């Protein structure tokens, strides 16, 4: 997916060992469709060469404010005016202090100071030793650059090149790409609290075996990411899946349908939008054996009895908060046939404003999907596309419906 298509990014490198990550970040920007202009400080050149960054960006790297390639000798003006954003990765403690002071004694600091603040964003990915990161001066400077209009992307935690362990590492390139992609997405759900359920549930027969389904959780995780990109505060209740948590999303892992019901019911009390994407088991074993159920050699199979699980979506949709139109509920229907017919019936049965249908066997485990939106006005299809693309479209559909639904 070319999430940054049409964007022009100035990638600024300051002095730090994390410059080795900037090479991969530049590659990811280009792969995502952006054009990238690299600008390096003198200190950054001690860690990575301009030749490397030129090869990855496809553009000549700028290092000096006196670059004679600019006829007017003003690269700090020319380069900044072309940009949609200046991304400083890595941004050292020294350079953060320079930004606070309004220093302008090299090309990169000049560009940050001279950029049109109303249309050229400044995004900072700090990188430094853990003690430098924790120092009160650094924390004061970070608060000040944020107050001055920059976006601080945060840091990672772990082993550092100095041999110490703690906060201060530059975020990984893939994490930065996700954060910067989110930065450019329209904030259609700013101020909303979105609750998403995702993945399958696992209903245990004994300590070894259980009943589950083929849901991978990819659609629900894409929805959680898209909601966060749209500016919402997001809680993701995830069944047993092996997927990374989207950046900026609060994740709660559960196992069974009963676990999911308890967590979701509690979280729904403060949510404003609920998207029930999880493929929750309809039934669970009536009893669970304390020990593994073994074959006894007789050839007889065990007799299993089941009880029906609570309907999580229906329970939340009938809650006082939802009935008072303070909680917009969106359901998902995974069917194997007659999708429109079943989806319409399910929406009416649940009493919800919007239901999203899909054909389970065609979507489970896949990276793309096709959706059917069902509301009181009828049915509309979202053609097959990557799940994140569909999730973003769904967030736009929800945002468009909220004002009339709450009126």
Does residue 295 fall inside a structural domain?
A: no
69 and 134 in a single domain? The answer is yes
Choosing from 162, 184, 206, the residue where a domain stops is 184
Does residue 2 fall inside a structural domain?
A: no
The two tokens of residue 118 are: 């109303």
Q: Which range marks the domain in which residue 320 is found?
A: 193-288+303-406
128 and 55 in a single domain? The answer is yes
Does residue 298 fall inside a structural domain?
A: no
Choosing from 117, 149, 184, the residue where a domain stops is 184
12 and 117 in a single domain? The answer is yes
Choosing from 131, 155, 184, the residue where a domain stops is 184
Residues 6+ apart with CB under 8 A from 95: 14, 15, 41, 88, 108, 109
Does residue 22 fall inside a structural domain?
A: yes
pLDDT value at position 72?
A: 85
168 and 219 in a single domain? The answer is no
22 and 43 in a single domain? The answer is yes
66 and 201 in a single domain? The answer is no
CATH of the domain at 319: 3.40.50.10300
160 and 265 in a single domain? The answer is no
Give the full edge-to-edge strand order of the sheet including 193-198.
Answer: 250-253, 233-238, 193-198, 273-276, 328-335, 354-359, 368-375, 378-386
pLDDT value at position 361?
A: 65
CA angle, corner 189, sides to 188 and 193, nearest 5? 175
The string of DSSP codes covering 237-299 is EE-S---PPPTT-EEEE--SHHHHHHHHHHHHTT-SEEEE--B--SEEESS--SS-----SS-
Write down the catalytic residue from 19, 112, 162, 329: 162
Does residue 297 fall inside a structural domain?
A: no
Q: Which residue has the tokens 């970040």?
A: 25
CATH of the domain at 40: 3.40.50.1950
pLDDT value at position 75?
A: 86
27 and 92 in a single domain? The answer is yes
**Do 200 and 217 contact (CB within 8 A), yes or no?**
yes
116 and 202 in a single domain? The answer is no
176 and 236 in a single domain? The answer is no
Asked if the peptide bond before residue 178 counts as cis, ω within 30 degrees of 0, the response is no
CA distances from residue 222 to 90, 98, 169, 386 in whole angstroms, order as listed: 28, 38, 27, 9
The two tokens of residue 299 are: 């050839």
19 is catalytic: no
pLDDT value at position 358?
A: 84
164 and 273 in a single domain? The answer is no
Does residue 296 fall inside a structural domain?
A: no
Domains: count for the chain: 2
Task: Render each residue's pLDDT in the chain as its tens digit; 407 residues.
Answer: 799 999 999 999 999 999 999 999 999 999 999 999 999 999 999 999 999 999 999 999 999 998 888 888 888 988 999 999 999 999 999 999 999 999 999 999 999 999 999 999 999 999 999 999 999 999 999 999 999 999 999 999 999 998 999 999 999 999 999 999 999 999 999 999 999 999 999 999 999 999 998 899 999 999 999 999 999 999 999 999 999 999 999 999 999 999 999 999 999 999 999 999 999 999 999 999 999 988 888 888 888 899 999 999 999 999 999 999 999 999 998 776 778 888 888 899 999 999 998 866 667 778 898 898 999 998 999 999 999 999 999 999 999 999 999 87
Does residue 293 fall inside a structural domain?
A: no
Does residue 3 fall inside a structural domain?
A: no
167 and 235 in a single domain? The answer is no
């Amino acid at each position: 997916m070319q999430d940054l298509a049409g964007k022009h990014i100035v990638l600024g490198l300051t002095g730090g060992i994390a410059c080795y990550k900037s090479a991969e970040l530049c590659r990811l920007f280009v792969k995502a469709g952006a054009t990238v202009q690299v600008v390096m400080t003198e200190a950054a050149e001690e860690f990575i060469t301009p030749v490397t960054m030129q090869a990855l960006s496809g553009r000549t790297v700028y290092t000096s404010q006196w670059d004679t390639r600019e006829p007017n000798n003003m690269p700090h003006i020319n380069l900044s005016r072309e940009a949609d954003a200046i991304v400083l990765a890595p941004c050292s403690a020294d350079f953060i202090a320079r930004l606070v002071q309004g220093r302008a004694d090299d090309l990169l600091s000049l560009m940050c100071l001279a950029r049109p603040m109303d249309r050229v964003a400044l995004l900072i990915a700090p990188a430094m030793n853990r003690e430098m990161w924790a120092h009160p001066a650094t924390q004061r400077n970070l608060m000040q650059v944020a107050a001055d209009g920059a976006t601080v992307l945060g840091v990672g935690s772990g082993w550092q090149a100095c041999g110490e362990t703690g906060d201060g590492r530059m975020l990984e390139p893939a994490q930065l790409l996700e954060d910067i992609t989110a930065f450019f997405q329209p904030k259609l759900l700013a101020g909303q609290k979105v609750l998403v359920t995702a993945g399958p549930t696992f209903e245990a027969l004994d300590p070894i075996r259980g009943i589950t389904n083929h849901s991978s959780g990819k659609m629900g995780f894409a929805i959680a990411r898209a909601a966060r990109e749209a500016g919402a505060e997001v809680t993701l209740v995830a069944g047993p899946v092996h997927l990374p948590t989207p950046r900026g999303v609060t994740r709660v892992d559960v196992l069974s349908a009963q676990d999911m019901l308890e967590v979701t019911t509690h979280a729904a009390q403060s949510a404003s939008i609920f998207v029930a994407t999880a493929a929750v088991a309809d039934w669970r074993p009536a009893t669970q054996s304390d020990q593994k159920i073994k074959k006894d050699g007789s050839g007889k199979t065990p007799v299993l009895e089941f009880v029906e699980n609570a309907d999580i979506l229906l329970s939340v949709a009938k809650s006082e908060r939802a009935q008072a139109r303070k909680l917009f509920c969106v359901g998902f229907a995974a069917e194997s046939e007659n999708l429109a017919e079943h989806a319409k019936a399910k929406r009416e049965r649940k009493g919800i404003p919007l239901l999203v249908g899909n054909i389970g066997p065609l979507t489970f485990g896949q990276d793309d999907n096709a959706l059917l939106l069902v509301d009181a006005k009828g049915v509309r299809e979202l053609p097959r596309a990557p799940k994140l693309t569909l999730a973003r479209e769904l967030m736009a559909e929800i945002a468009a419906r909220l004002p009339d639904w709450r009126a």
